[in-house]
Structure 1
């Protein structure tokens, strides 16, 4: 019954997700026009101009950008035995600790300050950044201001940890977060530049669901604007949740969407999803069509635990993202990296393509868990042994902005060598953080150029 409802919904929406020849031509010429203007834009505009003060229309006036405000409530059935792998993701604690001791994680933008310069591999996304910056920067600025006083604003609430946790999750749902989870702070997931800024030993992971319709149009400016708008909505929701926690008598400090930590490991540990082959968190209700942020707190919330949703098993049977990735950056098998068994993406191929194609996100668009939800995927597999949507244009087809062509199952764009070139930007795994780096005192706004 659930599968039938999903199929009917997708069938009704399908015309909006399909471009005709004229629209594909517009996609191509719009991309080329943006590329032609980029040399002028990068010389006349800062990397991310300070535009938080510019008036903007309310988000409901941009229905294609607006994130969904509904909390996830669809029950997830137990996966078939052949899809089970284990809770969360496979970890090798000794290797994790060794990697942390020998090579602590660093903030990518601090490690690569040229990300803020004219040679940034993501600079070609300037149109989507320009149009959403007032909203994103405004939310980030409000969060940074609130973080200046992360301490409690009232006496501690006299309730049990279970009651406090339940009340917090109700408040998160009221604020419009799709889901929240709670886990322990782990310094191994915290970038070295921000060690010591956490205000407690508990981490709250918050998720907001990105606009469904716009995501199905990846790659496009429309989908990238929806992603950035979702981040803005997430910033405000997490800031308000932190304020609620402080009103209960506990310290709370939201990190912001650029982040001071690796958010995906925290989300996995909090039982919100599992790591997909595409390197993203796959949540049961929306796959990777979501944005994630964390906050630290000293509140005695009960911690959640990792869950085996069957997602790793689905990925092994599916592998659509491996075949469809235009950059060929997704490996088909998992290997150990820093104590985590995962498919390690080829960033050197992924990042330039992402920057030159409106965020790309083909791996998100073609994921059946993103499109149909895990319950429908599991039920289809249980009934037929097939992955829902696999080998169909409905799921796997996408329009490529570089040439305006539609690529269906079995087809993939041929990318010229210059697409992968990033003059002035070096992917050096041994690079060290510049010695003149200055601690941003927890606001992390300099990383965005605010």
Structure 2
């Protein structure tokens, strides 16, 4: 299936909070900052090579609290299932879940289960997604603007066709919650276990959900970071709003989520975007930008950018990806200080945090920001080990 390279504004963008301009161009995955770290000499360095090497235990650095051998051991172990999936087709240049969609492990059944009510089927899919372990599930249309213009052949990091089955009509977007106590220890290798665990979880969830749909006789392609930009799909599916820290903020888990997706031809009704007022809060809050050690996050209003690792022609808050990843490389682990300090990083099962959320999404958002002034401090990684 081929897609046009330039496909700007659509009806519903305003409701979704997606500001697409006439300069819009679909993003080429080769320019993703993690992929550029393998081929672009402006990004690649001894530190970036050491960052990737640290996911092998024989190459980990030995440092203080949060970066000990057992911190790296837990982080690396948490990635295991995701790594097994991503490495199984490496000889063909396909890193499944990252630079290529996850290959089908089951065929499409020759007989289709009739779907007389797409709304009822959508409800069923959400139930099955949560049965397999997803925390959130929303469904949106197959908006080709957010598909990568090309995927990447990991043998030489050249462009490769971003092919999908024909007839796909919907994108099922899944949210996977990261552990709050681990997120509180960012930046640390220990905190990286929160990321790795959800990548491993989501690999299983999307593969199982896609297999269920194929068993019903419909196309379904499981996808993680590959194939397309999940954030616009998550926003369109009504799961949350885009924030200054480059994340989707949800009313259930704040920013503590990883997202995955399933592209499918199964007849489904689509959810609608749900603007809540989070972008208005971000307009007066700069906690993430203030806390960023390398000042990679933006101040001011959303803007378009010419940054090669950002999508062109979309007016939004955009980070300096090179600065951000450079700090990751220095740590030999991921950094999510911006997630940790975000005022929406709360446990919304507690009534006082739900009350705060109502205040933050109201015209009294400045009061909510003032009430958050002393939150978001880093927890000691050693305390996490002792708490168990």
Fold in common (TM above 0.5): yes
Using the TM superposition, name which of 179-188 and 382-391 deviates more. 382-391
In the alignment, which residue of structure 2 is the partner of 1:79? none
The answer to whether the 8 A contact 1:104-1:188 is kept is no
The answer to whether the 8 A contact 2:184-2:376 is kept is no
Say if 1:125 and 1:398 are closer, same or farther in 2 by CA, change over 3 A.
farther
The answer to whether 1:185 aligns with 2:159 is: no
The answer to whether the 8 A contact 2:246-2:317 is kept is yes
- Tell me which of 5, 9, 15 is aligned to 1:87: 15
Q: CA deviation at 1:301?
A: 0.8
- Tell me which of 216, 225, 233 is aligned to 1:266: 233
Local SS of the residue matching 1:340: strand
Q: CA deviation at 1:104?
A: 4.5
Give the Cα–Cα distance (whole angstroms) in 2 for the partners of residues 89 and 145 of structure 1. 30
Q: CA deviation at 1:195?
A: 2.4
In the alignment, which residue of structure 2 is the partner of 1:370? 345
Structure 1 stretches of at least 4 aligned residues deviating more than 6 Å after TM superposition:
142-145
Give the Cα–Cα distance (whole angstroms) in 2 for the partners of residues 396 and 244 of structure 1. 40
Higher helix share: 1
In the alignment, which residue of structure 1 is the partner of 2:284? 317
Larger Rg: 1
The answer to whether 1:156 aligns with 2:84 is: no
In the alignment, which residue of structure 2 is the partner of 1:123? 52
**What TM-score, normalized by structure 1, do the two folds share?**
0.62
Q: How many pairs align?
A: 312
In the alignment, which residue of structure 2 is the partner of 1:387? 368
In the alignment, which residue of structure 2 is the partner of 1:448? none
Using the TM superposition, name which of 187-196 and 208-217 deviates more. 187-196
The answer to whether the 8 A contact 2:110-2:217 is kept is yes
Local SS of the residue matching 2:266: coil
Q: Which runs of 5+ in 1 are unaligned?
A: 1-84, 405-450
Say if 1:107 and 1:132 are closer, same or farther in 2 by CA, change over 3 A.
farther
**What TM-score, normalized by structure 2, do the two folds share?**
0.71
Q: CA deviation at 1:342?
A: 1.0
- Tell me which of 239, 242, 245 is aligned to 2:207: 239
In the alignment, which residue of structure 2 is the partner of 1:342? 316
In the alignment, which residue of structure 2 is the partner of 1:408? none
Give the Cα–Cα distance (whole angstroms) in 1 for the partners of residues 236 and 344 of structure 2. 20
Mapping 1:25-104, distance limit 5 Å? 87-96=15-24, 99-100=25-26, 104=28
The answer to whether the 8 A contact 2:47-2:330 is kept is no
Say if 1:155 and 1:359 are closer, same or farther in 2 by CA, change over 3 A.
same
The answer to whether the 8 A contact 1:252-1:297 is kept is yes
Give the Cα–Cα distance (whole angstroms) in 2 for the partners of residues 371 and 397 of structure 1. 13
In the alignment, which residue of structure 2 is the partner of 1:106? 30
Give the Cα–Cα distance (whole angstroms) in 2 for the partners of residues 258 and 174 of structure 1. 22
Q: Give the alignment's Cα RMSD to 1 decimal.
A: 3.1
The answer to whether the 8 A contact 2:47-2:329 is kept is no
Q: Which runs of 5+ in 2 are unaligned?
A: 1-12, 61-71, 89-95, 152-160, 306-311, 383-388
Q: CA deviation at 1:311?
A: 0.9
Local SS of the residue matching 2:197: helix
Q: Deviations over 1:394-422 (max 9, x none)?
A: x2323699xx9xxxxxxxxxxxxxxxxxx
Give the Cα–Cα distance (whole angstroms) in 2 for the partners of residues 150 and 300 of structure 1. 18
